[in-house]
Amino acid sequence: MTGAAIGGVIEDVRPQHAFDVERLAAWLETAVPGYVGPLTIGQFAGGQSNPTYILKTPARAYVLRRKPPGVLVASAHAVDREFRVMEALHGVGFPVPEPIAYCDDPGVIGTVFYVMAHVPGRVFRDCTMPTVGKAERAAIYDSVNATLAQLHSFDPKTLGLSDFGRAGNYFARQIARWTKQYRGAETGTVAEMERLIEWLPRLVPADEEAGLLHGDFSFHNVLIHPTEPRVVAVIDWELSTTGHPFGDLMYHLMDWYRPPGLSDRNQLTDKDAEALGVPNLERYLALYCERIGREPPANLGFYQAYNCFRLAAILQAIVGRAKAGTAAADNAASQIARVRPYAEAGWRYLEPLIDRERTHVGF
C-alpha cells in the first residue's frame, strides 16, 4: 500500500479472531460512558501481533485491541501495558488515543482487551509519502521528529511509570530478551544471527540513560491529521518500556539505513532525501538531538546492528506464531524470507566495530 489511509484499511473480522458481538455490546454498555448501540465491527488489516477492531455506533467510533487467541509467547501481547502507558501519556497531553476501558475478563470475548477512542488520521506506510507535496512532507517529518523527542523528554517517574521497566542495562536486557524470543521460534540455523547473539552483548555501550520508549516508533504507527501536517496520535504501544532513547531513535531511523530490498514499502536508503524535501539521516538525527538536548551517538554501527538483530528476532517470532496458528496477519509465514537478510545486514554493521575492538583492546 502506498500513500495514506484514514485510520488504516478495515476488513471483515477474520474467522480466527471472531467473538460474541452481543456479549461485547453488553460489556460496553456497563464499562464505556455514553455508549449507545447498535454496534457494528470491522477489523483493521495488517498487524502482526494484537488483533485490532473498529467499533462503530451511530454516535461514535471506538477501537478495540486484544490479545490474540491461542498459546502465546510469555510477556508478549501485553495489552495491559499498552493501556497503562497510554493512560499516563494522555494525562500529560502527549498525542495518543484516549484510553477508555480495560477488560481483564477473558470471558467477554475470549481474551483480555481494551477500548480506546478512534482518532481519524492518515497512516503513511510509505515513508516517501508520494500523495503529498514536498512542503507538506517536510512538515510531517518535522512533526514526527518533534513527537519522538517529546516522548523521550518525559521522566517515567513523573508519569507514574517508575516500575514500567527495569532500571539499567537496557541494551543488554533487550538483546537477551530478543535472543530468547528468537530461540523460542527458531526454525533453522542462521550463521549471522549466531554471530550477533555472541557479539552484541560484548559491545553494549556503557551509557545507562533511561527514558520512556515506544518500542516500534515507525511511520505506520503514527497518525497524521487528516488535512494538516502534524501528528495527532501515536499507536501500538505493545513494545513500550523504559530504556535508552537511542533504542527508539535508531529503530525509527531504519528507513534511512535499512539495506534495500528488506521492506515491502519504499524507504529512504536509496532515495534522494533533498528532492523529497526531508532531512538525510545525519540532519534528522541532529534535529532530534537538538530538541532533546544531547549529542548524536558516536557509535552508530552498534545501534544499526542491534536494530537489524531485533527485527530479525521479531520476524522469526511472527513465523513461530504463524506455525502455531495465532498470527494476526495473513502474510506472517512469508516473513521467514527476511530473517536471514536482516541478520546479514546487522553483521555487516557490527563486524567493523569488532575489528576495531580487536585492534585496540583485543578479544
pLDDT recorded at residue 323: 65
> In the prediction, which pLDDT does 328 show?
53
Domain ranges, ordered by start, for the chain: 4-120
Measured CA to CA, the distance from residue 44 to residue 9 in angstroms comes to: 6
Per DSSP, the three-state class of 216 is coil
Phi, psi at residue 239, to the nearest 5°?
A: -95, 10
17-34, pLDDT tens digit by residue?
999 999 999 999 999 999
Q: What is the pLDDT of residue 46?
A: 67
Q: What is the pTM of this model?
A: 0.85
Predicted local distance difference test score (pLDDT) of residue 117: 96
CB 144 within 8 A of CB 222: yes
Which runs of consecutive H residues, i.e. helices, occur in the chain?
A: 21-31, 79-90, 134-153, 170-185, 191-199, 245-252, 254-257, 273-276, 281-292, 300-324, 336-360
CATH number of the domain at 4-120, out of 3.40.630.40, 3.30.200.20, 3.40.50.2000, 3.40.225.10?
3.30.200.20
For the record, the C-alpha cell of 48 comes out as: 502482526
Q: Are 98 and 118 in contact (CB under 8 A)?
A: no
Give the integer Cα–Cα distance in Å for 183 and 305: 18
Give the whole-angstrom CA distance, residue 57 versus residue 51: 20
Specify the pLDDT at position 7: 57
Taking phi over 0 as left and psi of -120 to 50 as alpha, with beta for the rest, 194 belongs to alpha
Asked whether the beta carbons of 260 and 270 are under 8 A apart, the reply is yes
pLDDT attached to residue 144: 98
Q: Any bridge partners for residue 52, and if so which?
A: 65
Distance (Å, whole) CA 312 – CA 334: 13
In angstroms, the Cα distances linking 131 to 63, 154, 256, 280, 350 are 26, 33, 20, 20, 36
Phi, psi of 60 (to 5 degrees): -160, 155
Q: What pLDDT shows up at residue 207?
A: 73
pLDDT the model gives residue 359: 60
Cβ–Cβ < 8 Å for 97, 116: yes
- Bridge partners of 113, per DSSP, are 66, 103
3-state SS class at 108: coil
Per-residue pLDDT of the chain (363 residues; tens, 9 = 90+): 234 444 568 889 988 899 999 999 999 999 999 999 999 999 988 655 789 999 999 999 999 999 887 544 445 558 999 999 999 999 999 999 999 999 999 999 999 999 999 999 999 988 999 999 999 999 999 999 999 999 999 999 999 998 887 777 889 989 999 999 999 888 888 899 999 999 999 999 887 778 999 989 999 899 999 999 999 999 999 889 998 999 899 999 999 998 887 776 778 888 888 899 999 999 999 999 999 998 888 788 999 999 999 999 988 888 776 666 555 555 555 667 788 899 999 999 999 888 776 665 544
Coil vs helix vs strand at 186? coil
* pLDDT score of 3: 40
Give tens-digit pLDDT for 183-192. 988 888 889 9
pLDDT of residue 194: 95
Give Cα separations from 35 to 13, 27, 69, 83, 91 (angstroms).
21, 10, 26, 19, 22
